Amino acid sequence: MSTVDSAVGIALLFPDLLGTYGDSGNATILAERLRWRGFEATPVTVRSGDAVPAGCDVYVVGGGEDLPQALAARQLGPPRTGPLCEAVDRGAAVLAVCAGLQVLGESFVGGDGVRVDGAGLLDLTTERGRGPRSVGEVVVDPVPALGLPALTGYENHGGVTVLGPGTSPLGHVRRGVGNGDGSGTDGAWSGRVLGTYLHGPVLARNPALADLVLGWVVGDLAPVDDAEVLELRGERLHAALGPRRRGRWRP
């Protein structure tokens, strides 16, 4: 199902609408981590107005402001229809951040108070939060089934996301807000569709998350030298959580 023979197709959806926080870097990181392992990667940038290709292996959706987010949702079409949903049905993976997470859900309330249909790929809805925006560093302990170390990132959102029974949270928030519904969770995960409130870009700060998503589509991955990024992670976790205490966090 790749775009070019055996190359892995990585579609970056609507960076002109959902690119405010540098989340487009997630697509670059996926492509580079594949190339380091000898895979061919074909990045496909899908701008607003372009048709979404159904044949890619990984789809990346970033964060953005309320109005562009509603425009992006409209382009994906009614819930559970369209090329993105077809791709997921065929086994493609999706990584969505903040506005992207909200857009993949059943519905969200835009800045004008109007409810907008989402893609219906994740069993969640997003409401307008009543308090101040959630802004700042976040540390998330992923659910054990994902086998990931702590996730570091930052958040900046007004939406509050409530998960339905059809999806698992990505993890539990140790610092920050995340979904903000009182459950202490961040993000959502169902099959090969994964969403989070973490910007960073999240895959730059969390290479294990990048490799989890890549592993879903290409299988086992050879290890790569992540010494530099592990040092950066250590700095971020230290800044967010304070000095490391035995067993508190893994870089």
Q: Are 188 and 142 in contact (CB under 8 A)?
A: no
Active site residue: 98, 157, 172, 238, which one? 98
Q: Which residue is nearest to ligand GLN (CB)?
A: 63
Q: How far is the CB of 99 from ligand GLN (least distance, A)?
A: 3
Of 9 and 118, which CB lies nearer to ligand GLN in the complex structure? Answer: 118
The residue length of the chain stands at: 251
Q: Which span sits near ligand GLN by CB under 6 A: 28-36, 157-165, 187-195, 204-212?
A: 157-165
First to last CA, the chain: 35
Distance CA 60, CA 45 (A): 10
3-state secondary structure of 27: helix
- Known catalytic residue at 98: yes
Per DSSP (E only), the strands in 58-216 are: 58-61, 93-97, 107-109, 115-117, 124-128, 134-142, 151-157, 159-163, 171-175, 185-186, 188-190, 193-196
Q: How far is the CB of 182 from ligand GLN (least distance, A)?
A: 16
DSSP states along 196-226: ES-BS-HHHH-HHHHHHHHHHHH--------
Q: With binding defined as CB under 6 A, does residue 25 bind ligand GLN?
A: no
Q: How far is the CB of 98 from ligand GLN (least distance, A)?
A: 3
Q: Which span sits near ligand GLN by CB under 6 A: 1-9, 38-46, 151-159, 163-171?
A: 151-159
Ramachandran class of 109: left when φ > 0, alpha when ψ lies in -120 to 50, beta otherwise: beta
Q: With binding defined as CB under 6 A, does residue 153 bind ligand GLN?
A: no
Of 44, 140, 157, 187, the one binding ligand GLN (CB under 6 A) is 157
Ramachandran class of 77: left when φ > 0, alpha when ψ lies in -120 to 50, beta otherwise: left
Distance CA 140, CA 200 (A): 13
The sheet with strand 151-157 has its strands ordered as 151-157, 134-142, 171-175, 185-186
Q: With binding defined as CB under 6 A, does residue 43 bind ligand GLN?
A: no
Binding-site size, ligand GLN (CB under 6 A): 12
- Known catalytic residue at 199: yes
Binding-site string for ligand GLN from residue 174 to residue 213, where x marks contact by CB under 6 A and - marks none: ----------------------------------------
Q: Are 192 and 181 in contact (CB under 8 A)?
A: no
Q: With binding defined as CB under 6 A, does residue 169 bind ligand GLN?
A: no
Of 99, 109, 124, 218, the one binding ligand GLN (CB under 6 A) is 99
Of 9 and 187, which CB lies nearer to ligand GLN in the complex structure? Answer: 187
Q: Is the peptide bond before 201 cis (omega within 30 degrees of 0)?
A: yes
Of 69, 75, 125, 152, the one binding ligand GLN (CB under 6 A) is 69
Catalytic residues: 98, 199
Chain positions contacting ligand GLN, by CB under 6 A? 21, 63-66, 69, 98-99, 156-159
